[in-house]
Structure 1
Amino acid sequence: MANGNFPRNLPILDGKNCDKWCKQMKVVFEYQDVWDLVKLGVDSLVENPSEAQTTAYKESNKKYFTALFIIHQCVDAANFEIVGEAESSKVAWENLEKAYAGDGKVKKVRLQTHKQQCELLQMEEKEEVGAFFIKVMALVNQMKNYGESATNQSVVEKILRYLLPKFDHVVVAIEESKNLADMSIQELQGSLKAHEQRMKERSGEKNSEVALLAQSNNKDKRDKGK
C-alpha cells in the first residue's frame, strides 16, 4: 500500500538535474510502492469483476494517482507544463523521458560528447584522490545514462591512466599484484587514498626537518656573530 509519509525534502526537477532527479524519483517511487505502476500502468478492470477484483483495481488506481501526485510535487513550474495534462503517472513519466532523453540521435551525440570528455580527463595538480574519484564517477554515470555499458574493470583501468605521475609506482604495483577484473572501484580508491595520506605525512616530516635545519643554521650564524 502506498506510504502517505512523504520525505520532507522531495527532489525538484528544474531542467538542469534530470539524471540525478530520475534516480532520486525511482527511490521515492519504490518507497511508496508505486514504481511498477509508473512503468507499466494499471490493467483495465475485467468484465463482470468479482468484489475482490474490484477492490484490487480501486487500490491500484489509488496508488496510480498517488504516483501522479508525487510527480506534480517534484517538478518546477516549467516542467509542470509537460506533466500537468497527463491523466496518469505512466504518461507523465513518459512525457518527461521524451522531453529530456531526446531521440536516439541526440542520445548518441551526448554520449559521444561525454566519451570525449572522458578521454581528455586528467587528474589535476594538487587535486585529492577523493575529489578526483567523484569527478570520474560523475562522468561515467552520465555515459551510462546515455547507453554506455562501462564495466567495473574498464573504470578501474581509466582511473589508473588518469592519475598524476606521482602515483606511477603505485599504479605499477597495483597492476602487477592485482587482478583488475576483480578489483572494485572502492578498493582502488582506498589504496590510492592510503598512499596519498602517506605522501602527505612524509611531506610534513620533510617540512619539519627543513624548518629545524633552518632554525639550527640561524642559531649557528647568531652564535658566530657574537
Structure 2
Amino acid sequence: MTTSNGFIMNLPVLDGNNFDHWSIQMKAIFGFQECLDVVQQGVQQIDENSTEVEKLEFRDAKKRNCKEIFLIHQCVDHAKFENISATISSKEAREILDKCYYGGVKVKKVMLQMLRNQYELLQQEEQETIEDYFTRIRILTNVMRSCGEKIHEQAMVEKVLGTLSAKFDHVVIAIEESKHHENFKIDELQGSFDVTP
C-alpha cells in the first residue's frame, strides 16, 4: 500500500497466531491514517436537528470508518475475513476479532494471571544473550499490556537488574551504585550492557 506522501507500507496480516502483534501494528496504522478514534468509539449517529458542523463531522467519521474497514479487510486472511465481511462498522469488526482471539473478559483475566506468573518467574538463562533476554521481557510485557496490565518502565528496569545471570553482577552493581537507574528507560538499560561481553 502506498500513502499519499509516497510512503510504502507492508500491511500486517492477521493469521490467527499473531493477534497481539497485529493489534499493535493496526493501532499504529489507524493512528497514521488519522482514524483511530472511529475504530475505538464508532461513528456517532446524528438526527434531523443536527447542525451543519455536526453533519460535516458525521460525514468525515463515516469516510474514516470506510477507510478503516478497508484496512481491516486488507489485514486479515481469508478465514478472518469471513468472520467480519458482513460488518459495516470498523468498531464492530474489531470487536468481533477481539472476541475471537481474546475470548472475552474471563479468558483475558486467566491469560493475564498466567502471564503474571511467567513474568514473576522470569530469569535470564545462562547461555541467553542480553539482547535475547531484553526481547523476551519486551514480548511478555507487551502481551501483558495488551491484556490491560499496567507495567511501568521502572518496574521493567528493576526486573531486569534483579534477574540477570551472575556473569553480569559487576555491571548490575555498577548501575545500582550510580543511583541513576531510577530514571533509566528499558532501552537505556539495554544500552548499558551492549559494551559488556
What TM-score, normalized to structure 1?
0.77
Give the Cα separation in 1 of the matches to 2:178 and 2:52: 66
Equivalent pair of 1:3/1:33 in contact (CA under 8 Å):
no
Match of 1:208 in 2: none
Q: Note the C-alpha offset of 1:16.
A: 0.7
DSSP 3-state at the match of 1:59 = helix
In structure 2, do the counterparts of structure 1 residues 56 and 102 end up closer, same or farther at CA, with 3 Å as the change threshold? same
Structure with the largest fraction of helix = 1
Structure 1 gaps of 5+ residues are 197-226
Alignment of 1:128-143 (within 5 A): 128-143=129-144
| Larger Rg over CA atoms | 1
- The residue type paired with residue 80 of structure 2 is N
Q: In 2, Cα distance between the equivalents of 1:68 and 1:83? A: 9
Structural mapping, 1:75-94, within 5 Å: 75-94=76-95
- The residue aligned with 1:193 is 194
Post-superposition CA distance 1:20-39 (Å, at most 9, x none): 10111111111221111111
Q: Distance in 2 between matches of 1:55 and 1:105?
A: 40
> Residues 16-63 of structure 1: CA distance to partner in whole angstroms, max 9, x if unpaired?
111110111111111221111111222223315566654543333222
Amino acid at match of 1:143: M
Contact 1:40-1:90 within 8 A present in 2 as well: yes
CA distance 1:142–1:50, shift in 2 (3 Å):
closer
The TM-score normalised by the length of structure 2 is 0.87
1:1-226 aligned at under 5 Å gives the runs 7-48=8-49, 54-196=55-197
Aligned to 1:202: none
Task: List runs of 5+ in structure 2 lacking aligned partners.
Answer: none
Query: Could you tell me which amino acid in structure 2 is paired with residue 132 of structure 1?
Result: Y
1:67-90 per-position Cα deviation (integer Å, ceiling 9, x unaligned): 111111111111112211112111
What's the C-alpha RMSD, in Å, of the aligned pairs? 2.3
1:150 counterpart letter in structure 2:
I
Q: Tell me which moved more, 83-92 or 48-57.
A: 48-57
Structure 1 segments (4+ residues) deviating >6 Å = none
Instruction: Measure the CA separation in 2 of the matches of 1:80 and 1:5.
Output: 27
The alignment-based identity, stated in percent, is: 45
